[in-house]
Structure 1
Amino acid sequence: MTDLEEIRRKKMLELQQKAQQQAMEAEAQEQMRQQLEMQKKQIMMQILTPEARSRLANLRLTRPDFVEQIELQLIQLAQMGRVRSKITDEQLKELLKRVAGKKREIKISRK
């Protein structure tokens, strides 16, 4: 083997190892994300009625960021012990109205 071939071979091995390492890191991150998602689903099943979960699932289709924010707030409330019983669909509606009401409305009027 010439020096050039040896350098190419070493460089190729380095690139392959780097790619494998990146793939393993990405896989580990994906597993962590899935595990967190499963924990979140379990908590939501404990604190929401089926109707309320259905409402959030429907809302997630149009406003995923908003639903994510609501879920995190509900989980925090549950972890602090402020959720005594399952949250019903009506209670969730009220919560959604309050949180959505905080958002600024932008009006554009044409003259």
Structure 2
Amino acid sequence: MSDYDDDELNEIINKRASEEQRKAEIEKRKQSELEAQREAALRAILAPEARQRLANIKLIKPDFANSLSDQLIMLAQSGRIKVPITDEELKAILSQLTGQNRRDFKIQIRERGWNEHP
């Protein structure tokens, strides 16, 4: 390879890297804007105590908290729940959700006699 080819290759690599970096910055900005919109919507539909409870849940179960936030926003926008949601109402919603997800397991132990042989 000649020096010309190396320079051209380096230029292409640098150009490609800067394009990827620009795309990543745009994506990061979009994510920040979406998060800001979500937080503004939650401020509008949750009472301060309920927002704090949701923030605490987010520390432990971020995926669950994000899913719950999306559902609450969607329900509020469609008018299916009254706003603002109080802490007590959020506790009731959480209780219903955990009740749906909880499964009861029964373990039965059957004893076999010593004399039982197939």
Aligned pair count? 109
Deviation of the 1:108 alpha carbon: 9.0
- Aligned partners of 2:58, 2:20: CA distance in 1, in Å? 31
Aligned twin of 2:43: 45
Q: Which has the higher contact order (CA 8 A, sep 6+)?
A: 1
- Amino acid aligned to 2:48: P
- Aligned partners of 2:51, 2:65: CA distance in 1, in Å? 11
Please show how residues 1-111 of structure 1 align to structure 2 within 5 Å: 4-105=2-103, 107=105
Deviation of the 1:79 alpha carbon: 1.4
- Aligned partners of 1:95, 1:63: CA distance in 2, in Å? 16
Greater shift in the superposed pair: 97-106 or 49-58: 97-106
- Aligned partners of 1:22, 1:104: CA distance in 2, in Å? 44
Gaps of 5+ in 1: none
Indicate conservation of the 8 Å contact 1:47/1:83, yes or no. Answer: no
Q: Which has the higher helix share?
A: 1
Which is greater in Rg?
2
Q: Aligned-pair RMSD on alpha carbons? A: 1.9
Deviation of the 1:58 alpha carbon: 0.8
- Amino acid aligned to 1:68: N
Deviation of the 1:101 alpha carbon: 1.9
Deviation of the 1:84 alpha carbon: 2.7
TM-score by length of 2: 0.84
Gaps of 5+ in 2: 110-118
34 and 66 in structure 1: CA distance in 2 versus 1, 3 angstrom threshold: same
Indicate conservation of the 8 Å contact 1:52/1:87, yes or no. Answer: yes
